[in-house]
Amino acid sequence: MPVEIDIAKVARLARIGLTSGELDHYAEQLQVILEHAARVQALPTEGVVPTAHPLPMTNAVRPDEVEPTLDREEVLAAAPEREGPYFRVPPYLEE
Amino acid sequence: MDPADLSIAEAGTRLRAGDLRSVDLLTAVRRRASMTEAILHAYLTIDYDGAMAAAEAADAALTRGEDWGPLHGIPIALKDNLVTRGLETTCSSRILSGWIPPYSATVVERLRRGGAVVVGKTNLDEFAMGSSTENSAYGPTRNPWDPDRVPGGSSGGSAASVAVGSAFAALGSDTGGSIRQPAALCGVVGMKPTYGLVSRYGLIAFASSLDQIGPITRTVADAVTVFEAIAGHDPSDATSYRGAYPDPRADLDLGVAGLRIGVVRELSHDGIEPGVAAAFQATLDALAADGAAISELSLPSTEYALSAYYLIAPAECSANLARFDGVRYGLRLPGESVEQMMSASRRDGFGPEVTRRILLGTYALSAGYYDAFYGQAQKVRTLVIEDFKRAYAEVDVLVIPTSPTTAFAVGAKTADPLSMYLSDVCTIPSNLSGDPAISVPVGLDEAGLPVGFQVLAPALGEAMMFRVAAAVERLAGLDARPAMATSEGAA
Amino acid sequence: MTYEAVIGIETHVELLTRSKMFCGCPTDFGAEPNTNVCPVCLGLPGALPVPNEQAIEWTMSLGLALECVIAPHSVFHRKNYFYADLPKNYQISQFDLPLCTGGHLDVDAGDGPRRVGITRVHLEEDTGKSTHLGGSGRIHDASGALIDFNRSGIPLMEVVTDPDMRTPEEARAYAQELRAIVLALGISDARLEEGSLRFDANVSLRPAGTDTLGTKVEVKNMNSLRSVQRALAFEIERQARVLDSGQPVAQETRHWDEAAGRTESGRSKEESSDYRYFTEPDLVPLVVAPGLLDRLHAGIPELPAARRARYVAVGLEEAAARTLVAGGLAELFDDAVAVGASPRAAANWLTGEITGHLNRTGIEPEALPIDGARLAELLAMVDAAEISATAAKDVLAGVLAGEGSPREVAAGRDLLQISDAGALSAAVDDVLTAHPDEAARIRGGEGRLVGFLVGKVMKATSGKADPKAVDALIRDRTGS
């Protein structure tokens, strides 16, 4: 059962700037993997509740209390580009 | 015996007896690493200065009469997807090359508080995606039993270092078998806990609902020790289990007499290599002779587990890896716009397997495909969980081979991603169910390669799992060590 | 062609919790950039979210105040999109199992009540803040951007209405009422100009009398209640012109430009976003514990609608009640009445002079130098004729200028009236003596001359005599 993949759209959604040759290559591979993965469709699942969690846990919350923050210099030391106390990035295209 | 080959239990006894110091253990580990690393490449980063300071502090504490627990003064390796403050953490990816974290994972803090000496960070398949450690951006790790073969993955570096003695124990992570399978291929013990028993805070996430951190050790008793040191509720992890669970050590030496052991039919015959099948059967026979009742059970949904996994894990990872965008840390390539910068950085920073899974996951979650793929896979997951529950109403533990094959040759499966994925067929079901599982080495095949025997238990059933694993070790355990691990044996 | 406007509003409310939604970082406004950050809100590898219990309870409280159904079982989802100030490149939000659904809020813009359906109230996290460099500070001509993650992870509540509003006035009334409720609950400081309250509107037109929905346009960047009304009025007119010219309305997002008084087309996206929602695997479901809703109900203070009804019941006009509640003067009013002020008199001063002062100075009601006690004192002084009604305005002005209490200001500005008969006697007698003819004529029945003599007494006392008391004294002395 061949699966239809708009690989260019997927790569755009994932923000991975692949070349068209790379896109073709991955599209082929994904095709094969997805056909195998699509076997899940063969199992009857009406009335089956999807598992989001293996653990039947609820209400894991925390009280509204302040905790220590990170040291700004240590944080900005890892920044690929910084300007004063800020992270700097190239201009945005989109809102 | 070279101190590097002691178990944690033995080393602990000798530390407290005063005839060895932590510094001696570290020196032994260092020596073993220097003999093996050129070929093995188990480590990405070794921090001897930090380790030595920790060992000296451990020794001083022992001298003062303090005892910080069973890991006090023991050299440990950490898989490089565990965040360590001040120590480079790369996930074996170019996208995190040179990243020095400003915080440490909860398990790392717990180990340090217990006096463990962190030797360094071990190699893995990039972002824990793979079954051979060949997907590392920094070169593969080799199998200590045969350097032309893979150590398994994704925790290949951790398994290899423990197997040769360049660490007393290591932490790995297991999402689809990444602790158990390399443990099997390297002839050591590797265990995946019940989902939620070990905090994931500071584990760089691959698939959040499947990932668990666990120990890789040379003995089952050592695995219990390391598990106890890292397990327990963590308020920083909302998926961390809050309830009580049985003492994992309580039943360790009770043996298997009277226990009911179930073999999973769907995962024990087709596709299993003869050498693996033979060792598996021999172990079953030994267990039966020791008083266990062996039966075969069918868990039909496990045939679909691999397919479900290869939809769920990539979907979650596609979101978990979105944060690697060159803005706040990691690799940044230039771009005229922030969008271009992100796209270029991610293309350059991620390797092919990671790229493949991100694309797969993004697709599986896309509008129009969600129900058929991700949604359906989460339903299959429920069926797998139900199959396991039904099985555990009849047996105490389930057993299967850990891996269908022993260690394969480097490069043998890299051309075909799907063939690599099939290595995980015996380990994936436990990740889907969230139940604990352990691999115990049970002998060598005709090529001299280790075979792993896997014990699966119900959720929170670590005590039962370790009990059967200890019996397996006693009855069928592997005595041999890889040639590389002896003081003279390095090639 | 007559069109009917169909308006829905989405409101984002920044909650006043001490710590962020999924981590313990402080939330104080105005901190140094990138100091209120940690691995979680920076999206560092390995970090995990843990939800803020207070934020959850406050969201449920707002849901109760809006008559919503509180979900017995609620779940967080990941909303996936890439943006430089969204550290994980997904936002933890809620999708199909939000905390609250199916409520309503009744508003009245002046032409009758409108029930605005509340589709849902859910909880999510805010993003960091980008400052665009160079150019106009807008995105399109920037040379780069600077990002501060202090705001990243602050709890955001989103309230979505059904498309039930029909006029810009109704939309403004809704916005105002929602803001008043949020303030009454104490869960946000709801400042539009600071961004702790943000309104986005969806507006479409359809031919009057039909019921198919037209193409909807999203309008953003309305930074005041007035902007909400103006922006919608503009947009409705714009869409009407488009439709009248035979063109279809483009489905898009438009930004309101307050200075220019118009909406402008935002950057069009290549494709509509595919957010790939899936249940957040790092979190577990929220289940309402027994007794929680009762406790939250009990904690809800008097809401604006109930307060207005109470004011009307003590004799205020609807409009006055509305102004008091909407203007943040209800506490002041209640305090003044509690120490004996007449409701109508207090309301008059509050909705008149004091509201005028607030509008002119732009300060918040909490910053007023007058409290309920002082207002009651002012009113009591007028009642006791210690100051004239005219002087009272000056006294109030003095109090608002920070000169002290009404009594202190009246004394300081020499506005105290003399109304004591004894004190006035001498002055009255002097004037009567000085004007014997007028006095005689008054005795003879020419009552209209009393005013003339009152004037003389006023002059003699430099205006400080109470005219009524003087009048009474003169009449008494002249037997008229």
| Chain A neighbors of B315, CB-CB under 8 A | none
| Chain A CA closest to residue C81 | A13
Distant-in-sequence, close-in-space partners of B134: CB < 8 Å, separation ≥ 6: B125, B140, B150, B153, B410, B411, B414
Asked if the model's pLDDT at residue C246 lies above 80, the reply is yes
pLDDT tens-digit map of A6-38: 999 999 999 999 999 999 999 999 999 988 888
Instruction: Check A93 against C54: CB less than 8 A apart.
Output: no
Give Cβ neighbours of residue C30 (< 8 Å, ≥ 6 apart).
none
Percent of chain B with pLDDT over 90: 93
Say yes or no: C122 and C44 in one domain.
yes
> Is C48's Cβ below 8 Å from some Cβ in A?
no
Distance from the C291 Cα atom to the nearest Cα atom in chain B, whole angstroms: 22
In a domain, C236, yes or no: yes
Cα distance from A47 to chain B (closest Cα, Å)?
9
Buried residues in C377-409 as b, exposed as e (16+ CB within 10 A): bbbbbbeebbbbeebbeebbebbbeeeebbbeb
Beta bridge partners, B88, equal: none
Look up residue B364 and give its amino acid.
A
The interface predicted TM-score (ipTM) is 0.96
* Distance, CA of C293 to CA of C291 (rounded, Å): 6
- Considering chain B, what is the average pLDDT of its residues? 96
Indicate if the pLDDT at residue B100 is higher than 50.
yes
Q: Where is pLDDT greater, at A78 or B486?
A: A78
User: Between B68 and A5, where is the model more confident?
Assistant: B68
Q: How far is C196 from chain A (nearest CA, A)?
A: 19
User: Minimum mean pLDDT among B178-192, B218-232, C136-150: which range?
Assistant: C136-150
pLDDT band at B490, cuts 50/70/90? very low
Encoding tokens for residue C359?
């509008």
pLDDT at position B487 is 57
Which segment of A54-63, B77-86, B249-258, C76-85 scores lowest on mean pLDDT?
A: A54-63
Q: Which of C38, C269, C285 is the closest to A69 by Cβ?
A: C38
Min distance C157 CA to chain B CA atoms (Å): 21
Determine, for residues C46 and B208 on separate chains, whether the beta-carbon distance falls below 8 Å.
no
Q: What is the pLDDT of residues C305-331, one digit of tens each?
A: 999 999 999 999 988 998 898 888 998
Residues 255-284 of C with CB under 8 A from B: 274, 276, 278, 281-284
Question: Mutate which of B84, B94, B195, B376 to disrupt the A interface (most A C-beta within 10 Å)?
Answer: B376
Q: Are residues C358 and C219 in the same domain?
A: no
**Helices B8-17 and B22-40 sit at what angle, rounded to 10 degrees?**
150
B343 contact residues in A (CB cutoff 8 A): 15-17
C67, C170: one domain:
yes
CA–CA distance, B370 with C128 (Å, rounded to integer)? 29
Nearest CB neighbour to A54, from listed B195, B307, B330: B195
Contact at CB, B338 and A57, closer than 8 angstroms:
no
- Helix runs in C362-464, H state only: 372-383, 389-400, 406-412, 421-434, 436-443, 450-460
Name every residue whose Cβ is closer than 8 Å to that of residue B227 and which is 6 or more positions away in sequence: B191, B193, B198, B214, B215, B248, B462
A-proximal residues of C, 78-137, CB under 8 Å: 82-84, 89, 130-133
CA dist., res. B354 & res. B348, Å (int): 12
> Is the pLDDT assigned to residue B169 strictly greater than 80?
yes
pLDDT value for B242: 95
More confident residue, B367 or B374: B374
Instruction: Give the mean pLDDT of C225-239.
Output: 95
CA dihedral B127, B131, B132, B136 (to 10 degrees): -10
Domain harbouring C454, CATH code: 1.10.10.410
- Is the same domain home to C264 and C384? no
Mean pLDDT of chain C: 92
- Cβ–Cβ under 8 Å, residues C182 and C11: no
- Cβ-based contacts under 8 A for chains A and C: 129
C312 and C256 in a single domain? The answer is no
Q: Which of A57, A75, A92 comes nearest C37 by C-beta?
A: A75
Alpha-helical regions (H) of B303-447: 305-320, 338-349, 352-365, 376-392, 417-421, 428-433
Please tell me which of A34-38, B135-139, C206-210 the model is most confident about, judged by mean pLDDT.
B135-139
| C480 has a chain A CB within 8 A of its CB | no
Q: Tell me: pLDDT of C180 over 60.
A: yes
Q: Which domains are assigned to chain B?
A: 3-246+480-490 (3.90.1300.10)
Cα distance between residue B194 and residue B248, in whole Å = 12
| Same-domain check for residues C144 and C26 | yes
Disruptive mutation site among C25, C82, C267 for chain B (greatest number of B CBs within 10 Å): C82
Q: Are C300 and C62 spatial neighbours (Cβ–Cβ below 8 Å)?
A: no
CA nearest C82: which of A20, B319, B86, B165? B319
* Residue C309 within any structural domain of the chain: yes
List the structure tokens of C257: 């430009």
Instruction: Residue A60: list chain B partners with CB under 8 A.
Output: 238-240, 242
Residue A69 and residue C35: Cβ atoms within 8 Å? Answer: yes
B interface with C, Cβ–Cβ < 8 A, is 82-83, 89, 91, 96, 99, 101-103, 105, 200-205, 207-209, 235-239, 315-316, 318-319, 322-325, 327-329, 338-339, 342, 362, 365-367, 370, 374
How many degrees, rounded to 5, is the angle at CA B280 between CA B279 and CA B284?
115
User: Which tokens is B279 given?
Assistant: 């060792």
* Nearest Cβ partner for B434 among A34, A55, A92: A55
Chains touching C (at least 3 CB pairs under 8 A) are A, B
Q: Is B301 an interface residue toward A (CB < 8 Å)?
A: yes
Query: What value does the mean pLDDT take over residues B212-235?
Result: 98
Residue at token pair 């007794």 = C291
Going by C-alpha positions, the residue among C97, A32, C115 that lies closest to residue B417 is A32
* Binary contact (B367, C278; C-beta < 8 A): no
Confidence band for C271, pLDDT divided at 50, 70 and 90: low
Q: What percentage of chain C exceeds 70 in pLDDT?
A: 97
How distant is the Cα of C89 from the closest Cα of chain B, in angstroms? Answer: 6
When mean pLDDT is compared across B29-43, B167-181, C189-203, C424-438, the lowest value belongs to: C424-438
Distance from CA of B368 to the nearest CA of C (A): 10
Last residue of a domain, one of C385, C412, C439: C412
pLDDT at C416: 84
CA distance A73 to chain C (A): 9
Has residue C137 got a pLDDT over 70? no
Mean pLDDT along residues B372-387 = 94
C242 and C211 assigned to the same domain: yes
Residue C451 inside a domain? The answer is: yes
A90 or C271, which is more confident: A90
Closest Cα in chain B to C45: B204
Separation CA B321–CA B195 (nearest Å): 21
Note whether A63 contacts C54, CB cutoff 8 Å: yes
- Verify that C405 and C436 share a domain, yes or no: no
Closest by Cβ to B209, choosing from C42, C87, C281: C281
Indicate the residue among C412, C441, C460 that finishes a domain: C412
CA distance readout (Å), B16 to B19, B22, B30, B204, B401: 8, 10, 22, 35, 38
Q: Are B83 and B105 in contact (CB under 8 A)?
A: yes
Residue C260 CB neighbour total at 10 angstroms: 9
Q: Are residues C257 and C288 in the same domain?
A: yes
* Residue C98 reports pLDDT greater than 80: yes
Q: Does B84 touch chain A (CB under 8 A)?
A: no
Catalytic residue numbers of B? 79, 154, 178
Kindly indicate the confidence band of residue C472, based on its pLDDT and cuts at 50, 70 and 90.
confident
Q: What are B263's strand-pairing partners?
A: B296, B399
pLDDT for res B418:
83
Q: A62 or C137: which carries more pLDDT confidence?
A: A62
Chains that touch B (3 or more CB pairs under 8 A): A, C
pLDDT in the model for residue B423: 86
pLDDT tier at C386, thresholds 50, 70, 90:
confident
Q: Does C311 reside within a domain?
A: yes
CB contact under 8 A, A17 and B344: yes
pLDDT for position C270: 45
Quote the strand ranges of C35-133, DSSP E: 69-70, 73-74, 77-80, 90-93, 100-108, 113-125, 129-133
Residue A2's pLDDT is: 59
One domain, residues C349 and C436: no
**A7 vs B418: CA distance, rounded Å:** 19
Instruction: Supply angle C-alpha B47, B51, B56, rounded to 5.
Output: 155
Residues C310 and C408 in one domain: yes
- Asked whether residue C389 is assigned to any structural domain, the reply reads yes
Q: In Å, how far is C396's CA from the nearest CA of chain A? A: 42
Chain B environment of C88 (Cβ under 8 Å): 319, 322-323
Q: How many CA atoms lie within 13 A of B129 on its CB side?
A: 31
Residue-wise pLDDT for B383-394, tens only, equals: 999 999 999 999
Dihedral-angle region of residue A63 (phi above 0 means left; psi in -120 to 50 means alpha; beta otherwise): beta
pLDDT of residue C438: 86
pLDDT, tens digit, for every residue of B416-439? 888 888 889 999 999 999 999 999
For C285, which of A58, A63, A95 is closest by C-beta distance? A58
Q: What is the rounded distance in angstroms from the CA atom of residue C38 to the CA atom of residue C50?
A: 13
Q: Which of A13-22, B300-309, C131-140 has the lowest mean pLDDT?
A: C131-140
Nearest CA in chain B to A37: B307
C297 within domain boundaries: no
Please tell me which residue of chain A has the smallest CA distance to B366: A10
Which residue of A15, A59, A69 is in closest CB contact with C286?
A: A59
pLDDT at C444: 86
Alpha-carbon distance C26 to nearest alpha carbon in chain A (angstroms): 6
Whether residue B154 is preceded by a cis peptide bond, meaning omega within 30 degrees of 0, is yes
Does the structure show a pLDDT above 70 at A3? no
C145 chain-A contacts, CB cut-off 8 A? 88-92
Average pLDDT over residues B138-148: 98
Residue C469 has a pLDDT of: 85
Same-domain check for residues C221 and C176: yes
Count of pairs with CB atoms under 8 A, one residue in B, one in C = 101
Residue C446's domain comprises 421-478
Search chain B and give the residue with CA nearest C90: B319
Domain count, chain C: 3
Between CA C357 and CA C360 the distance in angstroms is 5
Residue with tokens 């590898």: C45
Question: pLDDT category, B347, cuts 50, 70, 90?
Answer: very high
Provide φ and ψ at B400, rounded to 5°. Answer: -155, 165
Whole-prediction pTM value?
Answer: 0.90
Which residue of A13, A58, A91 is in closest CB contact with C287? A58
